[in-house]
Amino acid sequence: MIWLLDLDNTLVGRAEAFEAWASGAVDAAGAGAADLAAILAADEGGHGSKAALARVLIDRLGWDDDVPAAIERFRAGILDRVRPYDGVVFALDVLRGAGHRVAVVTNGTSAQQRGKIARCGLGDHVDAVVVSEEEGVAKPHPRLLEVALDRLGAADVDRRRVWMVGDAGHADVAAGRAAGTRTAWVSHGRSWEGPDRPDIVAATTREAIALAASPPGVVLD
């Protein structure tokens, strides 16, 4: 089986890292709860405009930074705090130990996404890493998934043997559907809204993998 896994909020806790950094930045600036709420809203779970988020940070926290400097500042804060989700590294090792092939397929800049992978020690636990900035195309375009399959030597594999796993319906699930793969959505407790429900909805990545791998089943305990 082939596994294409999103990075942010799927393998690593990007949203948690940003919130932890933002809370510290708000405290350091002497700002308040309303400022933190505005910053988190502008972030949109990592899917919002980075420039727009930078402008909110500058305005709310009274920074002297210009927009590019503010972007680098919060990106560095995320890298300092990002961690893999519990059980994810073990799950990747189990999959690969069972002969499955695994790739990270992520939107974002090369420096930031590869920095997260290095910080979380994921590089030795997957077979390939595909980053949108490096390929000039981003999810939900299916081309990014095609690149990953090619890197795994699986360009011609039956797409029913391929899983796209991610937390973003508009990017991960949509990309998987466009590429003809099966899809697993990591809900983090949210409810799926709208039609075209993914093949699997699970609260955590580990649960999504376990459900997708059965049958024949890969035991992740």
Contact (Cβ atoms closer than 8 angstroms) between residue 181 and residue 137: no
What local confidence, expressed as pLDDT, does residue 194 receive?
83
Banded pLDDT at 217 (limits 50, 70, 90): very low
**56 C-beta neighbours (distance < 10 Å), count:** 19
Lowest mean pLDDT among 98-112, 122-136, 207-221: 207-221
The yes or no reply on domain 2-12+85-212 and CATH 3.40.50.1000 is yes
Q: How many Cα atoms within 13 Å fall on the side-chain side of residue 179?
A: 34
- 195 pLDDT band (50/70/90 cuts)? confident
| High-pLDDT (> 70) share of the chain, % | 97
Over residues 120-169, the pLDDT tens digits come to: 999 999 999 999 999 999 999 999 999 999 999 999 999 999 999 999 99
Q: What is the mean pLDDT of residues 192-199?
A: 91
Q: Where are the domains of the chain?
A: 2-12+85-212, 14-81
Backbone angles phi, psi at 101, to 5 degrees: -110, 140
Alpha-carbon distance of 108 to 90, in angstroms, equals 25
Which pLDDT belongs to residue 149? 98
The model's pLDDT over 5-34, given as tens digits with 9 standing for 90+, comes to 999 999 999 999 999 999 999 999 999 999
Average pLDDT over residues 58-64: 97
Residues near 150 by beta carbon (within 8 Å), at least 6 away in sequence: none
